[in-house]
Structure 1
Amino acid sequence: MGSKRREIPVFEHPIIETHCHLDYLKERPLEETLAEARRVNIERIITIAVAPENLARVRELSQMAPFVYGTQGIHPHDAESYTDGVETEIRSHVGGEKMVAVGEIGLDYFYDNADREIQREVFRRQLQIACDTDRPVVIHSRDADEDTIAILGEFEDTLKRRGVIHSFTSGPGLARYAISQGWCLGFNGISTFNKAENVRDIIRMTPIDQLLLETDSPFLTPVPYRGKENAPFYIPFVAEKIADVKELAIEEVLQATYRNSLRTFFESRPSM
């Protein structure tokens, strides 16, 4: 909190923001946020669906600008609101031109906002959507490493495309499993927090070709802007921290994460 704030760095290489929630941003007009993101060379932004009530809003946001994309899926916090009708809506729209993944789906045993058995059922149902539609997946996993591994294991042979375990704060066991199975791990402002050495340890063990940059904005604002609402244009600070932790040149990190983002979300898209 006491870190001296400085100008957001602008790098020559473009960046893809792989995980944010544009419809949750409140601090400034969305047009200003998008313009500032472009100023710091963010080439594409993926805004993530989490609940039945924002599935349509994410689709609308993806039409705001050519560089904004979205996902369709239900977060474990809202698993108890998952219905056959919600599933039909996800299936109907996840193949859209601007929709790039099924997500954000998974398990959250930290908050336990939904019954754990229902969370597991809804996680499986949405992984099946990804299998059926040949879409990558955006996964949320918190305090649920064993069950996340077990359920992903059930889909190892049928899930043609992987995706990302985003905002990775889990242990090395889940990290090793995910890496071995071809998943990417997503890192955000948590990587800059003083007490997040456990996250930096995972960054060190993650191959650079399986690492993605994200903000998860409006949450988890990186140092040196903690205390302010997070936004996609703060992602250069995450890139800097990744480069520092992995002892790599910033350009190497930017080039690798850009390639990883394209490969994960924008390449090998099926014709719909």
Structure 2
Amino acid sequence: MLVDSHCHLDFPDFAEELDDVVARARSVGIGRMVTICTRVRKFPDVLAVAERFDDVFCSVGTHPHNAAEELDVTTDKLVELSQHRKVVAIGEAGLDYHYDKSPRDAQAQGFRTHIAAARETGLPLVIHARSADEDMISILEEETRAGAFPAVLHCFSSGRKLAERGIELGLYVSFSGILTFKNSEEVRDIARDMPRDRVLVETDSPYLAPMPNRGKRNEPAYTVHTAQTLGDVWGLDRESVWRQTTENFLRLFSKVPAPERQIPEA
């Protein structure tokens, strides 16, 4: 099977056909999906989606875009909400200096709160990092010195230095449809050099649909295209890429039960 380690199935883009979206993912071999929380205040909606489908799980957390809205969300609150059997990760949280929708000090404060929750629960922190490489490295180094925590740099499109330092600190790196874009040679070069046991794939749907669906609404079924490009980059066949990235996912997202699902014939 293959895993979409990061999607947003609670978003309005999927409201009218969520059952069909999940069915299409299953039909191409997507055995697990993690729908990611962007606001703790909307966590009940995210959880409702995860509870609706056996093969969908979720996270709890506040996106850096919304950090200023939820500075009252404490580590204790995140830990409390993460006790639900369907909650398998913390986040997404991090730093986004591209849009700067929240003040940078609010983003950093929220990020550290989520790191503490990941450290306490042992659940992986889903990290959003955009145009903030140096500050991201600085916080990750400082927080790791305070105590290790599991984490993934999701939808990776940052520089090589962040990827390599993240790996040195014990993190994983996840690649989205960006990996398939014609102008993403640098991202593919980074993916080629990452340790294969630290790499995940995702959609970040409804955004960033991979080739050949670029420009359309993304959905978990399209994870197969990103995995295909990763296989091309690594020089591996489909079965090997699916097995490797799924093993990596289950190692990091250790709360997710491993299903028995075969890779469908091409």
Partner of 1:177: 165
**Amino acid corresponding to residue 57 of structure 2 in structure 1:** Y
**Amino acid corresponding to residue 24 of structure 1 in structure 2:** F
Where do 1:168-247 residues align within 5 Å?
168-247=156-235
Whole-Å Cα distance in 2 between the matches of residues 267 and 67 of structure 1?
Answer: 13
Whole-Å Cα distance in 2 between the matches of residues 173 and 247 of structure 1?
Answer: 24
State the 4+ residue runs in structure 1 displaced beyond 3 angstroms: 85-89, 157-161
Comparing 234-243 and 125-134, the one that deviates more: 125-134
Where do 1:124-135 residues align within 5 Å?
124-135=112-123
Partner of 2:130: 142
Shift of 1:53: 3.4
Whole-Å Cα distance in 1 between the matches of residues 256 and 47 of structure 2?
Answer: 21
Shift of 1:26: 2.1
Whole-Å Cα distance in 1 between the matches of residues 67 and 75 of structure 2?
Answer: 11
Question: Pick from 59, 62, 66: which aligns with 2:50?
Answer: 62
Question: Pick from 10, 22, 35: which aligns with 2:9?
Answer: 22
Whole-Å Cα distance in 1 between the matches of residues 153 and 201 of structure 2?
Answer: 12
Which string of whole-angstrom CA distances, capped at 9 and with x for unpartnered residues, describes residues 179-201 of structure 1?
Answer: 11221100011011111111111
Partner of 2:102: 114
Does structure 2 retain, via aligned residues, the 8 Å contact 1:163–1:265? no
Whole-Å Cα distance in 2 between the matches of residues 25 and 156 of structure 1?
Answer: 36
Shift of 1:92: 1.8
Shift of 1:249: 1.7
**Amino acid corresponding to residue 259 of structure 1 in structure 2:** E
Percentage of identical aligned residues: 39
Shift of 1:204: 1.0
Whole-Å Cα distance in 2 between the matches of residues 242 and 25 of structure 1?
Answer: 29
The aligned length equals: 256
What is the TM-score with the length of structure 1 in the denominator? Answer: 0.89
**Amino acid corresponding to residue 181 of structure 1 in structure 2:** L
Where do 1:21-100 residues align within 5 Å?
21-24=8-11, 26=13, 28-85=16-73, 89-100=77-88
Which string of whole-angstrom CA distances, capped at 9 and with x for unpartnered residues, describes residues 93-113 of structure 1?
Answer: 112111011110100001000
* Structure 2 unpaired stretches of 5+: 258-266
Question: Pick from 160, 167, 175: which aligns with 2:155?
Answer: 167
What is the TM-score with the length of structure 2 in the denominator? Answer: 0.91
**Amino acid corresponding to residue 23 of structure 1 in structure 2:** D
